[in-house]
Amino acid sequence: MSQTRIGRLFERLRAEGRPALIAYITAGDPSPDQTPALVAALERGGADLIELGVPFSDPIADGPVIQRGSERALKAGTKVATVLDIASEIRRHSEIPLLLFTYMNPVLRYGLDALARDAQARGIDGCLLTDLSVEEAEPYTCAMRKAGLDTVFLAAPTSTERRLELVAKYSSGFVYLVSRTGVTGERASVSDAVGPLVNAMRKVTSLPVAVGFGISTPDQVRAVGAVADGVVVGSAFERVIEQNAASPELPDKLAALARQLASGLPSKNR
């Protein structure tokens, strides 16, 4: 499989000596028409990769801020097909890597092979299924790789060595490490589990390692970026969307937060 935009991004950042700022937003929140402009704002502010969340009625891994974002997006009529249209619109103006962040149910309803084909055609670079067990990953991984898409899997502080090996086996693009058990959401401090988890993952893969869940300040970005290849921020961006959904200043506020967080990225070459 040839390298995706995700692979090329991490290769470039490795040469630059800095980690990636990965921004999660729920596609369609506050409306599908606004999402491309919000992605453009995040890119302007310094985001390197965008996780486009597919809104889902039962987002078990997501905290209250992202759950409410899903509810707003669903009310606005956002479906999987809508998110693919959004990706297509983003691609008219940007080459920023796009990772589809979703649950199994919407994928099964859309059709696995159909999603892989259509996602690739619309400019998506990879997919992360939050509730797919890595032990059952083979059919999904085959379909995605056949379409030239990366498959990103999650590992947590509770993951066994065997689970980490399976995550390494089935992941491409990068590996997503959950900094703590529980749901997404802003936290006051970075978990002590991050360093050991990154080290354990690096023993079984040469893929870039990104860390998310609970990161919302430049200091936390700096702390995680010192040990990981990517830092994922979601709830902090979704909170800005929630608080400014009706404001014409929403894109500028998102860009400002991305800029603030990107200022925390450590760089070996600075």
**What's the pTM value of the predicted model, to 2 decimals?**
0.94
Q: Is 51 a catalytic residue?
A: yes
Give a yes or no: residue 175 inside a domain.
Answer: no
Give a yes or no: residue 198 inside a domain.
Answer: no
Give a yes or no: residue 45 inside a domain.
Answer: yes
Band (pLDDT 50/70/90 cuts) for residue 183 is very low
What's the CATH code of the domain at 70?
Answer: 3.20.20.70
Token pair for 78: 């956002």
Angstrom distance (rounded) from CA 71 to CA 10: 33
Helix (H, G, I), strand (E, B) or coil at 167: helix
| Cα angle for residues 122, 85, 253 (degrees, 5° grid) | 110
Give a yes or no: residue 201 inside a domain.
Answer: no
Give residue 179's pLDDT: 77
Band (pLDDT 50/70/90 cuts) for residue 187 is very low
Across the chain, what does the average pLDDT equal? 92
Give a yes or no: residue 172 inside a domain.
Answer: no
Give a yes or no: residue 179 inside a domain.
Answer: no
Angstrom distance (rounded) from CA 83 to CA 32: 8
- Number of C-beta neighbours around residue 44 at 10 A: 15
Domain count for the chain, please give it. 1
* Residue of 48, 51, 89, 125 with catalytic role: 51
**186 has pLDDT over 50:** no
Give a yes or no: residue 163 inside a domain.
Answer: no
Give residue 204's pLDDT: 97
- Number of C-beta neighbours around residue 161 at 10 A: 10
Q: What is the mean pLDDT of residues 252-270?
A: 88
Q: Is 62 a catalytic residue?
A: yes
Boundaries of domain holding 101: 5-149+221-262
* Residue of 29, 48, 62, 186 with catalytic role: 62
Angstrom distance (rounded) from CA 259 to CA 261: 5
Give a yes or no: residue 83 inside a domain.
Answer: yes
